[in-house]
Structure 1
Amino acid sequence: MRLALLFSGQGGQGPAHWQQVQAGVAGELGEALSRVLPGIADPLAASLEAPASPGGDAEKLAKNSIAQPLIFAQQMLLWRQLQPRLPRPICAAGYSLGEMAACSAAGAFSVSQGLDLCAERAALMDAAVAGEQGMLAVLGLDEAQVESLAVAAGLAVAIRNAPRHLVVAGARSGLLAVADQFAAAGASRLVHLAVRTPSHTAQLTRAAVDFAKSLDLLPDQRLAFPVLSAIDATAARSVRPALAALARQICTPLDWAACLQAVAEMQPDAVLEIGPGNALSRLFAELAPDIPVRACDDFRSVDGIVRWVESAG
Structure 2
Amino acid sequence: MGFALIFSGQGMQHPAMLPWLATDALVRLTCERLGVGDWRQQLADPAWAANNRNAQCLLTGLGLAAWQQLANDLPVPAAIAGYSVGELAAFSAAGVFTAETALDLANDRAEAMDRCAAETPGGLLAVSGLSMEVLDALCQDTGLAVAIRNGVDSAVLGGPLAALARAERAALQLHAHCTPLKVSVASHTPWMRAAAEHFAQTLAPLPLQRPRSVLFSNAADRVLDAAQAKTALATQIAQTVRWDECMDNLHARGVHCVLEVGPGQALARIWNQRYPEVPARACDDFRSAAGITSWIHSHY
TM-score grouping bracket, smaller chain normalisation? over 0.9
Aligned to 1:181: 170
% identical equivalent positions = 38
Distance 1:125 1:12, change over 3 A: same
1:30-41 pair list within 5 angstroms? 30-31=28-29, 33-34=31-32, 36-38=33-35, 40-41=36-37
- Answer with 128-137 or 191-200: which moved more: 128-137
Aligned to 1:61: 49
Contact 2:18 2:283 in 1 (8 A): no
Q: Equivalents in 2 of 1:150, 1:207: separation in Å?
A: 22
Report SS of the residue matched to 2:224: strand
Report SS of the residue matched to 2:62: helix
Report SS of the residue matched to 1:108: coil
Aligned to 1:53: none
Contact 1:20 1:74 in 2 (8 A): no
Q: Equivalents in 1 of 2:243, 2:14: separation in Å?
A: 23
Residue of 215, 221, 233 corresponding to 1:227: 215
Report SS of the residue matched to 2:212: strand
Residue of 173, 182, 185 corresponding to 1:194: 182
Equivalent pairs, count: 299
CA apart distance, 1:238 = 2.3
Aligned to 2:289: 302
Matching residue's letter, 1:133: G
Q: Does 2:162 correspond to 1:166?
A: no
CA apart distance, 1:74 = 1.2
Contact 2:120 2:191 in 1 (8 A): no
1:89-141 superposed Cα distances (whole Å, 9 cap, x missing partner): 11111100111100000111111111111011100000012353110011111
Aligned to 1:113: 101
- Answer with 90-99 or 222-231: which moved more: 222-231
Q: Does 2:66 correspond to 1:78?
A: yes
Aligned to 2:5: 5
CA apart distance, 1:29 = 5.4
1:237-256 pair list within 5 angstroms? 237-256=224-243
Residue of 266, 275, 290 corresponding to 1:288: 275
Pairwise CA RMSD: 1.9
Give the TM-score normalised by structure 2. 0.94
CA apart distance, 1:181 = 0.8
Report SS of the residue matched to 1:103: helix
Report SS of the residue matched to 2:197: helix
Q: Equivalents in 2 of 1:47, 1:114: separation in Å?
A: 21
Query: Runs of 5+ in structure 2 lacking a partner?
Result: none
CA apart distance, 1:11 = 1.3
Aligned to 1:88: 76
Query: Runs of 5+ in structure 1 lacking a partner?
Result: 50-56
Q: Equivalents in 1 of 2:28, 2:226: separation in Å?
A: 25
Q: Does 2:273 correspond to 1:276?
A: no
Q: Equivalents in 2 of 1:196, 1:159: separation in Å?
A: 16
CA apart distance, 1:33 = 4.1
Q: Does 2:138 correspond to 1:149?
A: yes
Distance 1:311 1:45, change over 3 A: closer
Distance 1:48 1:169, change over 3 A: closer
Contact 2:60 2:103 in 1 (8 A): yes
Report SS of the residue matched to 1:167: strand
Report SS of the residue matched to 2:201: helix
Distance 1:127 1:113, change over 3 A: same
Contact 2:126 2:155 in 1 (8 A): yes
Q: Does 2:212 correspond to 1:213?
A: no
Q: Equivalents in 2 of 1:82, 1:286: separation in Å?
A: 26
Q: Does 2:128 correspond to 1:139?
A: yes
Q: Equivalents in 1 of 2:148, 2:250: separation in Å?
A: 17
